[in-house]
Amino acid sequence: MRKSLIGLVLMGIMFTITIPVVYANSSRINNIGINISITEYNKLLNLGFTEDYIDTMEQEEFDYNKSIIGHVVSETTKFYRTTIIYGYAQSRDSLSQLNVNNNLFNTQYDRISLQTAISDGILVVQDVIDEEITESEFNEMEDEGIVTVITRNATNVYETSGKKLTTTITYQTSSKRYRMQNVLAWKTMPSVRSHDLFGIKVNNAAVEPVSNSHWGRTTYTMKESCTNTSTNYTGALYPTGQWKRSPQGYGVTFELPKNSTGSKTWNVMTGTYPCVWTGAPLPPPKVSPVNYNITLTAMTHTMYFDVVKVGVTSPISAYGSFQHAVNTVSLSTSLSFTIGATPNLGIVFTVSNTKNYDGMGGTHAQILKPVW
């Protein structure tokens, strides 16, 4: 039942939270239509869920969490800037002709044209640079993403994206379990949208993952250029996502949402133009289809699972990891990852697959003296 319903998903700071959050309203109805009481709402907040997440929580996940009493005991956030360096696939002799035919040089790429050049095989990944940055540097990054200038003396295209990764450990007093949670928020939308990887490694000498306790979700926003309006969507990371479980944790691979296009027609009877018109004085005087873009403008991924004690009481660690595909990879290729083969990275690849991902650093949340 659960699987079939779940359809489509500074520097480190560590602190302890024990003060419950209180809301004045007696209840609220979320975007899915679930009536959530103040008691249930505060329980969810104290488990580390954000208001936005609760507002899009579906019935089965809500029922799974609404009675759990707990609080966040450790949280670590890190910010990363990843620069992908693309080079032209053609030889230098071909570049002059490409310049004449396609005006590739002295061109400013936006996200859509960069995606087209990558998908057409004109640009290929040459290198990836991953840097940990401060929160202020992250906030100063361009919201609309990077733009790249190509000059006659340079044949590389640089695309930069920003990502914020938060790993949280929550103690559930009602069940005497700990919960490991990852939240990855994009500052700038990536051009390549294939199968990304998300996971948390735990020190399995202290704890082990609870079977079937894993959940995951992607929330994202698409903006329509015709009416200049945005729509929010939610998609679970199963079955579109594929999970792996080991004694060291959980990981999941899932496909990122794509841009698309649409078309509207004029109202023949009234002559009403279907889109927002910014020109002057009037829209084009003709009756014809109007094509427009539907573009990804915001995206956040969340995954979590519960763990229980094994062996003697010892410190608990959660190593969060998110790996973005810089090349288009198939689902089967993306599944060639393992959980916890190294002490400081939650997701590890086969040697042949490493080149397909950005190698972004991870997070580490820890409880030195767990209470069971």
Within 8 A by CB and 6+ apart from 18, the residues are 71
How far apart CA 198 and CA 25 sit, in angstroms, is 35
How far apart CA 267 and CA 117 sit, in angstroms, is 36
Give yes or no for a cis peptide into 370 (omega within 30° of 0): no
**Full-model pTM:** 0.84
Identity of the amino acid at 196: D
Label residues 43-69 b or e (16+ Cβ within 10 Å = b). Answer: bbbbbbbeeebbbebbeebbeebbebe
How far apart CA 59 and CA 267 sit, in angstroms, is 40
What φ, ψ does residue 52 adopt, rounded to 5°?
Answer: -60, -40
Q: Which of 55, 1, 10, 9 is nearest to 28 (CA)?
A: 55
Q: Which of 187, 339, 191, 174 is nearest to 253 (CA)?
A: 339
Residue 14 has, within 13 A of its CA and on its CB side, a CA count of: 10
Tokens coding 201: 């490694």
Kindly list the domain boundaries of the chain, sorted by start residue. 80-161
Reading the chain (372 residues) residue by residue, the pLDDT tens digits are 444 333 333 233 333 333 344 444 588 999 999 999 999 999 999 999 999 999 999 999 999 999 999 999 999 999 999 988 888 776 444 444 444 444 444 455 666 777 777 887 878 888 999 999 999 999 988 754 444 544 444 567 788 889 999 999 999 998 999 999 999 999 988 989 999 999 999 988 899 999 999 999 999 999 999 999 999 999 988 767 799 999 999 999 999 999 999 998 876 566 677 888 776 666 666 667 888 999 999 999 999 999 999 988 899 999 999 999 999 999 999 998 888 766 446 677 775 788 899 999 999 999 999 999
Give yes or no for a cis peptide into 289 (omega within 30° of 0): no
